[in-house]
Structure formats: structure tokens, C-alpha cells
Structure 1
Amino acid sequence: MVSNIVLSNTEYNVVGTRPIRHDGYDKVTGKALYGADMNLPGMLHGKVLRSPHAHANILSIDTSKAEAHPEVLAVITSADFADAPDEARMIVAGPPTNLKHLSNNCLAGEKALYKGQAIAAVAAQSAHAAEEALNLIEVEYEVLPAVTTVEEAIADGAPQLHANYKGNVASHSEMVLGDIEKGFADADLVVEKTFRTKTVHQGYIEPHTATAWWQADGRVTIWCSSQGHFQIRDRTSAVLGIPHSRIKVIPMEIGGGFGGKTTIYLEPVAAALSQKSGHPVKVTMSRADVLEGSGPTSGSYMWIKIGVTNEGKLTAVQADLKYEAGAYPGSPVGAAMNCIYSPYDVDNLRLDGYDIVDNKPKTTAYRAPGAPGAAFASEQVIDEICRKLDIDPLDFRIMNGAKEGTRRSYGVVNPVIGCVETNEAARDHEHYQTPLEGPNRGRGVATGFWMNGAG
């Protein structure tokens, strides 16, 4: 047997050791507190009414019967949030956030844009009473046709989710390197394929939950599970229309997130219910609420075209990436464009990325958002090229691998990155060299890239 390849002879203080997890004792003994574990004096239980329709105008909401329930202390709709302008502003690090979209994704305004979108919320003395009160809220809808895939959303005559996004295209971005036409003209083999991926939820074990206490001095404390409490504070501040200095977010232990707990759903709702009732309020999603009302990763429709010489040298790569943003703009199609061909050193490139709105929950990050779907498409075409040219898949990736000095699609020039060396180590390892024996056995490889938000 071939021994494992030694990539480093350096001994490190942490790498290669088994440090004790600082949170391990609390978690295995049950001492650790998660968001739903919060219980405060006089705390009320909140529940959220959700749209049964994927696309509908909200004509009216009558909460009077729910408010008359003897155990109900507060009922809210989007009218209880601050007036949110339909404009993008810098709230947290990253792209600007449209304030109206952010607010309406917590409680819908004029329209319901996906099945499960929050419409109204109640706070009552018990969870059962809150559920009863939801059934007393009367909502009049004008049901509209819905689109739930890229193809449906961009088809001629498709229903429009937003008046200002013609053809349901929220944005179109381009990235170009070199001369794409010359690159394909120089190719001996050109392969192009179309791929479709579906929306996939992150599937974290712990549902979203938030407990808020709006105190008499106008300060708000929120206990929740998130992947960054400062961004939760700042987004909640924007929806409520109060300075973020008046909001304190206390992060609880998190039962999984994978990118899906980087935004807000319940925090402003719990806070507004608390303000209106004068009590702390806890709101926790059911599993159905999570799947219907919180963001998955994007579905996509992708066209890939790659040209190579007979020797296997890349001459041109191209992609048309259409990513579903869900109800509001903001799919990770930009990250997909940054990542799709970055494992390769190629002079001629063209990428077109489209952010498409459709009647699904607003998408959220999911483990290198945008990149896995794009890699799924491009790497399959790479493998088909390897089969057609009878080239080992790892040898192809080594021959064309990105290296120091390679310019990525978005302009950054690589430092030392180790892409070629990693593929060489995989090729030379016994796991790759061992013959496959017996039925139903195979071996596959793929190369991916992620910029980790730092270029």
C-alpha cells in the first residue's frame, strides 16, 4: 500500500490536535440555553398568520375578532412597523438592503408573494390561545397567478411580482475576460449543456425563535439564535424604525444555521408585539413555518459552454446563470459568477448572471451561497470533456488549474493558492490510484472555489 503523502512536516499548536470544546460540557449536560429556552416573567406567546396563497393582493385585514379574544393582548400587521421606503440602504456589511423588502418579508404589505409569507401576528397568554386567535383574523385576498421557476418567471406574459422589475429580472450582471469568440474559434472541442437545480432548504434542526422585551424606557432586548447578532440588531432597527443603540440582541446557542440564520424573520414581530402588549413575547416557528416562511438556497437555470484543444487545454469558458431570488431580489448569482470558473486558468471568459424574482420564499445563504450549484453545472461539463478526450479528470484539472498570477472572473489576481498542488496530491494518493473492483463502484472528482468574502 502507498503511504499517505506528507504535505507538511511542521508541528502546530492547534492544527492536528484535539482541543476541548468550550461549549461541550454545557451542551452534553443540557445546561446550554437555546432561543426557545427563554422564559421571562409575564411572557406571552406569539403566533404568526401566514398566507395560503403564493401570489395575492391583500385587500383587507380585519383583526377585530382576534383582538376581542379574552387571552389576546396584542395583534399586529405590517402597519405596526415603521414606514419603509422602497429603496436600498447600507444597513449591514455587504450589498445595500431594500428596506421595504426587508420589512415586508417579516410582515407582508400590499401583496403576499409566496405561500407561507407572514401576514399578521398575535400575542396571547398561551400558545393555544394564540393559535385560536389566528383563526379569528379575516384576510381578503385577490389571488393572482404565480410563477415558481426561472423559466416561468421570465416567460412572455408571466405575472409580474414587482412593477419595477420588468420580466421579473431584478438585475443582470456581466463579467468578461479576453476574447470569447476567438477562444471558441481556437477550440477543437466545444461542449455546451443546460442544467436546472431546485430550491433546497438548509434544514437546520432548531427552528427560528425570538423573544423580545420592549421596556418602558423604550429599549428593546431580543434573545435569539443567529449567525451574527449585530446584523440582527441592525436589520431589526431598520424595520422598527428605532436607533440600533436602543436594541440589544443576546445570542443564544444555535441549533444549526448553515447561512439560513443571517437575517431576520421573527425578531421585529416579537418586538412589536411586546411594545403593543407591554409584556415580553416569545415567537417560535413550527417546522412547517420554517420550510414555508424562511429562505432556502436558490433554484437555478444554467447554460454552460466550454471549449478545449485536443490536448485538453481550455480555450474559452462561458456561462449564463439565472438564479431564483424568491419573492425579493438578492439571489447569490453574483457569488456564483465569482466562483464558477475560478479553479481554472483560462484567458477567455464570459459570464452573464440574472437575479430572478419568483413566488417562493426570499432566498438566504446556504454554505458558500451560489457556488455549489454553479460548480455542479461546470464540473459536469468538464467531466464530459475528459471522457470525450480520454483524459484523466485530475490530470485535466492540473493542466488547467488556477495558480499564482491567474486572473479570476471578477478581476482579482491570485496569490499563492495551492489549487494545482491539491489536485496533484489527490491524484497521487492511494485512494485515487487503487483499482476499482466489484459492481456499483465509481470514483469522481470536482474542483470548487470560494472567496470567503475577502476577495
Structure 2
Amino acid sequence: MAKDEIKGEFKLIGSRVLRPDGLDKVTGRARYGADFTAPGMLFGAVVRSPHAHARITKIDASKALALDGVKAVVTRADFPTGLTGEAWNLQDNTMAGDVALYDGHAVAAVAATSPLLAKDAAKLIEVTYEVLPHVTDVDAAMKPDAPIVREGAADHSVPEGMPPNVVRVLEFGRGDVEAGFAEADLVREQSYQTEATHQGYIEPQACVGQLGADGKGEMWVTTQGQWFVRWMCAAVLGLETAQLRVTPSEIGGGFGGKTTVFMEPLSLALSKKAGGSPVKLVMDRAEVLRATGPTSSASMDVKIGMKADGTITAARAEFRMQGGAYTGASPVGEALQCAFAPYKLENVAHIGYEVLANRPKAAAYRAPGSPMGAFAAESLVGEMCRELGLDPIEVRLKNAVAEGDRASYGPKFKRIGLKEVLEATKAHPNYAAPRGENQGRGVATGFWFNWGGDTSVSMAIAEDGSAQVAVGTPDIGGSRASLGLMVAETLGIPYENVRVNVVETGALGINEPTHGSRATFASGKAAVIA
């Protein structure tokens, strides 16, 4: 739908409005994760492994505990045992057990009366390591003689005889790929690699946690999803989920990297051991880069068959992706789903391998997996267009999916605008403009899906007729303004008369995080219904 059509259908939607959080942010009034304080608050510091793979043989915290002002030290011995599945993954990533699995893996944490004292105390905690062989490259990790990151981590999808670092295998497709290649005038196959990339958000992880002996606790945290923080911390520490209340701060960037926990459970564990005093933990930039989740690195093989007129007859992708030392963190499935999604294909095959490596547990990063898959597939399509002397936009138009077509990974597309975007790009003057010296012009398509997910919104009308809207999706891209416009449009009131508040976990039912391009769709729909 064109912008002028939007303006014709709505009074407010499509107009430019002031962001409701703008003034707070430019004046410094907005409160981020590290801005929270509480009476009697302690400060935490984390001891991290300097080795990519090492057995922890001894931890001696006696010198740290002897310092005046040091209130608590925690190690894995202070966490509940017997966890399985994702709860174990989260717990072990939060605090190493017998083995440190990557450089930067937390092995102990300390709480003290000042940040400097906490850092000094952390330096006095003596950890004895037995250094083990490590592997960080995804292809090297798949070799039969590679160092084993974790024994017995593979799930039921992995056939016998696979290397032990392969923990999940995915395979899907349709048609007859080999027959499709036989129909093609040109068949090309290439390999591509991408390295892990950190989200690079400006604000590091920061939180304040308080946990009493009765199991009731509170957290103030920078996050994309306060309900996710609640259940993850509860799972790691063996707590009742409803006993925790989590309040989100303003967020200084996330891009998917703040949809999980890293050091947040440590603040609660330290608080409990320190007699219930609140404990603040703030990562420095080095800790963020060493110990939080970047996206995965990938090694990808793509094969495509194309006729002389640009019709794609078949496509196959084999992707190998590492998600760090823990299962379920690699977005290999999403990468495969997205790689060929823009193309209408009758013959297509995908196979993916999730591989363990001695790296931090990967996290989402803006459509996790999609950029890697698109890089590989679109690079090869571009190479084949050049070889056949075809216009890259015309080739994509010839093969583009439209409403009703089946995606390469199965379901039928509803309303999509790929062809319209390609036509508009082709018609733009810049596409035909002469290129200057050392200038190039690239063409690529990409895909990402979105979903609704668990979403709760409540609304109250004040005495003056203004609308007070409580939402559970943190604002990382202007969603408060979007939701305010939707509510104002629905109620027929001025945009300035709507106040959208991001609230804590005790104020609403469950909300999924702000991730996966869902916040405006899901919270917006819920707000309109409310």
C-alpha cells in the first residue's frame, strides 16, 4: 500500500509525530539499566575464564572474602543441580560448572560495598585450571578428530556416525532437485563463510537484582523481554516464576542480543547469599564482547540451476552453523528458511547442521540466520546473472514469489510485496544512472517472517479523556509512537492524548519480548482490541 493510500484511509496513521520518549532521552532523564539504585545496594563483579576450554580443578575465594566490605562470593556450587535441557544450558552459560567452555565464561562472582572493591576482590579469587584442547571454527569442529566440546549433547535428529560436535541435523525441501539441475542451462555451486558478529548495542548489560530467603525477588534490567528474564532467572535458580518481578529499563540498543540472560541470574544469587541486599551488575565493553551472545558463524554451500532466460530450475543449500558451546543457539533453521524464500521454486533442498564450538552461547541478531542465508544465495544468483548477461532485477522478478505461492520451506505466502518492491526499484532513476569511477551497484532480495506470540495490553481512560496504555514489549525502535498512533486512530482522539507505558511483569499477563519483528503487529493488534 502506497503512503498516499495510507493517508487517504486513515487520519493519523502515516503522519509524522513526536516520539513520546524523545525528550527524556535527549535531556538525560531516561533511566537505563545502570541508572537504577536501591538502599543498601551492593556491587558485583565476575571472574571469567581466560581459556577457551579448561577444566576447573579448584576455586579459592578465601582472600577475597577476607576483605572488609566483601559480602558474598558465588560459584556453581551455589546453584541448584539436576537441571536439563534449556534450563541447564542457561545455568551453565551463566556460571561454569566443572568445565569452562569458552574464553570469558563466568566461573565465580563477588558482591561488595563498592564497584572498585568488588573488582579488587574478583582479582583475589584464585582459580586453578587444567587447560583442554579447543575448537572455534565450525568446519574444524565437524572433523572426526576435533576436540569434543561437550559429550552427549546431540539430539535425536543426528544419525549415527556423525562427529560428536554435530548436535542437530535439519533437512527439508520438495521436488526433484537433480532433475531440476538437469533442466538448467547453467549450474553453479559455491561455498561461503561468515564470521560471528556482535550486535554492538551501545548500552552494555546491566541489572539490579534482589532475592530474599523466602524466594521472592525483584529485578531492574535492560532487556528486550522482561517475562523472558523472569522465567530464565527462575529456571537457572530453581525459583517459582511468579515469585520474581522484573521491571525493564529504557534500552540502549538490543538488536536481538538482549532477549536472553547472561549475568542477570548472578545478581539474584549474590543477593540471596548476601542476606537479601540488592546487587548491581554492569558489564564493561570487554565483558560484553567476550561473554554475551553474538550471532553464529557459518559455512555454507549453495548450488543453483538456471535457464538461459533466468528461470531458476533447482536450488540446494547445505549450511553449517555454530551457536557456541550450547545446543539450540544456532539459527541454522532460520537461515535455511530464508535463503531461497524470495524465489518460486519447484525443486529445492535444504540441509543444516548445528555444531558446537568453544565460543559464547550465540544470541539473536536482527532476523537471526537470514543475513547469512541471503548472503550465500544472493551472491550466487548475482554471479549467475553476470555470467548469463542478465539483468539481476529481471531475474528476480521472473522468479519472485507472490501471494498464494508456496515458500521454499513449505507454507503459502499471504500478502507480500516483493514484486512491487522490485518494480519500484527498477523504475527508480538511480538504477539506470551512470556509475562513476570505483562505483558498483548491487541487487539482492531478502526475507524474514514475523509472528504474534503471547501479548497482553491493558488500557484505561482517564478523567480528561486521555488513554493510558500499558504494554509489555520494550520500545527499541519507536513502538510507543506506533502504538500511540494506532490507539489514537481507533479511539478518534489526538495522538498527544495517548500515553504508552512499558510495564513490569506484575502489571500484565505474559508478553513475549520485542523480537522477530513482532512488537508493532502483536502489541498494536492487542491495543486496538483493548
Q: Match for residue 272 of structure 1?
A: 269
The 5-angstrom pairing of residues 374-413 of structure 1 reads 374-413=373-412
Q: Match for residue 243 of structure 2?
A: 246
Residues 337 and 409 in structure 1, CA contact (< 8 A), matched pair in contact too: no
Q: Match for residue 512 of structure 2?
A: none
Deviates more, 1:323-332 or 1:14-23: 14-23
The secondary structure found in structure 1 opposite 2:51 is coil
Residues 1:140 and 1:326: Cα distance change in structure 2 (over 3 Å): same
Q: Match for residue 5 of structure 2?
A: 9
Residues 204 and 282 in structure 2, CA contact (< 8 A), matched pair in contact too: yes
Q: Match for residue 93 of structure 1?
A: none
Counterpart among 131, 140, 156 of residue 152 in structure 1: 140
Counterpart among 115, 125, 128 of residue 127 in structure 1: 115
- Provide the alpha-carbon RMSD of the alignment: 1.5
Q: Match for residue 169 of structure 1?
A: 166
> How far is 1:341 from its partner?
0.3
Residues 1:273 and 1:10: Cα distance change in structure 2 (over 3 Å): closer
| Alpha-carbon distance between aligned partners in 2 of 1:158 and 1:35, rounded to the nearest angstrom | 40
Q: Match for residue 78 of structure 2?
A: 80
Residues 84 and 99 in structure 1, CA contact (< 8 A), matched pair in contact too: no
Read off the aligned partner of 1:21 and give its amino acid letter. R
Write out per-residue CA displacement over residues 106-141 of structure 1, whole angstroms, 9 at most, x where no aligned residue: 011111111001110000011111111112211111
Matched, 1:102 2:90: yes
> How far is 1:7 from its partner?
6.9
| Alpha-carbon distance between aligned partners in 2 of 1:181 and 1:148, rounded to the nearest angstrom | 34
Counterpart among 32, 35, 52 of residue 34 in structure 1: 32
> How far is 1:104 from its partner?
0.7
| Alpha-carbon distance between aligned partners in 2 of 1:287 and 1:217, rounded to the nearest angstrom | 34
The size of the alignment, in residue pairs, is 440
| Alpha-carbon distance between aligned partners in 2 of 1:216 and 1:99, rounded to the nearest angstrom | 22
| Alpha-carbon distance between aligned partners in 1 of 2:99 and 2:403, rounded to the nearest angstrom | 50
Residues 183 and 307 in structure 2, CA contact (< 8 A), matched pair in contact too: yes
The secondary structure found in structure 2 opposite 1:119 is strand
Read off the aligned partner of 1:257 and give its amino acid letter. G
Counterpart among 41, 53, 56 of residue 55 in structure 1: 53
| Alpha-carbon distance between aligned partners in 1 of 2:301 and 2:188, rounded to the nearest angstrom | 11
> How far is 1:20 from its partner?
1.3
Residues 231 and 241 in structure 2, CA contact (< 8 A), matched pair in contact too: yes
> How far is 1:215 from its partner?
3.6
Unpaired runs of 5+ residues, structure 2, are 155-162, 453-515, 517-530
> How far is 1:403 from its partner?
1.1
| Alpha-carbon distance between aligned partners in 1 of 2:347 and 2:3, rounded to the nearest angstrom | 33
Read off the aligned partner of 1:196 and give its amino acid letter. Q
| Alpha-carbon distance between aligned partners in 1 of 2:125 and 2:108, rounded to the nearest angstrom | 8
Write out per-residue CA displacement over residues 350-381 of structure 1, whole angstroms, 9 at most, x where no aligned residue: 10011111011110000000000110111010
Read off the aligned partner of 1:115 and give its amino acid letter. D
Write out per-residue CA displacement over residues 273-294 of structure 1, whole angstroms, 9 at most, x where no aligned residue: 1111121100100100000000
Q: Match for residue 95 of structure 1?
A: none
Residues 84 and 239 in structure 1, CA contact (< 8 A), matched pair in contact too: no
> How far is 1:331 from its partner?
0.4
Write out per-residue CA displacement over residues 93-116 of structure 1, whole angstroms, 9 at most, x where no aligned residue: xxxxx2111101001111111100
| Alpha-carbon distance between aligned partners in 2 of 1:413 and 1:214, rounded to the nearest angstrom | 48
| Alpha-carbon distance between aligned partners in 1 of 2:30 and 2:427, rounded to the nearest angstrom | 45
| Alpha-carbon distance between aligned partners in 1 of 2:312 and 2:321, rounded to the nearest angstrom | 26
| Alpha-carbon distance between aligned partners in 2 of 1:418 and 1:302, rounded to the nearest angstrom | 28
Write out per-residue CA displacement over residues 14-56 of structure 1, whole angstroms, 9 at most, x where no aligned residue: 4432111111111111111111011111111100000000001
How high is the sequence identity, in percent, across the aligned residues? 48
Which consecutive segments of 4 or more residues in structure 1 shift more than 4 A? Answer: 5-8
Q: Match for residue 282 of structure 1?
A: 280
Read off the aligned partner of 1:247 and give its amino acid letter. L
Counterpart among 414, 430, 437 of residue 439 in structure 1: 437
> How far is 1:405 from its partner?
2.3
The secondary structure found in structure 2 opposite 1:167 is coil
> How far is 1:440 from its partner?
1.3
Write out per-residue CA displacement over residues 382-427 of structure 1, whole angstroms, 9 at most, x where no aligned residue: 0011101111000000000011222113211112212112111111
> How far is 1:323 from its partner?
0.7
Read off the aligned partner of 2:428 and give its amino acid letter. H
| Alpha-carbon distance between aligned partners in 2 of 1:161 and 1:30, rounded to the nearest angstrom | 45
| Alpha-carbon distance between aligned partners in 2 of 1:84 and 1:62, rounded to the nearest angstrom | 24
Q: Match for residue 189 of structure 1?
A: 186
| Alpha-carbon distance between aligned partners in 2 of 1:236 and 1:410, rounded to the nearest angstrom | 34
Residues 175 and 409 in structure 1, CA contact (< 8 A), matched pair in contact too: no
> How far is 1:217 from its partner?
4.5
| Alpha-carbon distance between aligned partners in 2 of 1:193 and 1:426, rounded to the nearest angstrom | 27
Query: Taking structure 1 as the reference length, what is the TM-score of the superposition?
Result: 0.94
Unpaired runs of 5+ residues, structure 1, are 89-97
